[in-house]
Structure 1
């Protein structure tokens, strides 16, 4: 029997607290599976590849952040294709996997959930992935946690603008 050299999957979890908006206001922004580039800071592109946004089995193409080469700003634009595995609007959560890409996120599966609370809500992002060459789990935790914080601030700002426009 061959000696299995696989390392255990990395697992992580990030939280973002939104002080103003309620979960029911944030959920529609997240359930737009083809709209991640509106919120996640390092993405410049999020395009539909197949299926209907928000329907299990749909696939999105995401691209944006660069992998630096020799400490310079030059580099390869990273991209992934991500497949929506499940979505539950009543629980305000969805799961997706990375099915292709050039970032080395093999076996990546993530669940994003909006958690109601008073006041506001939290967004929880859980993930697991096979160890990523050139990264540490701490690097990945920072990447996701910091991205989620920016997402939360962008969502708060967008909802404030929307509420102000509705008040006029």
Structure 2
């Protein structure tokens, strides 16, 4: 009886340890997901800011191009060195902004992939937890059936003390086969 109790306690301890490990794994995945989502929001804010700056620069370039076209149309293409330098600075700034936008878009794609991976890990952890609970429930049911079968055989053997031990072992095997073991 004490042995049965000890094995049941040991089984429950293993079950609780496994469930605790899966819960910790899920908690860690959730923390990682929150971190990634925060980074995505931060990157989206930066992209919005950069797009606003890009729009301003596009407007400046459009005005500059209009100015250049006006000078060409009037055949008055004698821009001073200051105006040419201003136009070149605007083009360089635009190129830098576009390069930064490309980098931020790449970073957002990486964060999105990471968040998808984390969601997949969470689903896998949930699936493992669910299957572990089902497995433990089936093990508990099987353990209870086995114990009741053993108890029934022991009580039968006490009543029928005329059977010798090989016949008793055969009876135990037969009963276990009937129970599905």
With structure 1 as the length reference, what TM-score do the two structures score?
0.26
More helix by share: 2
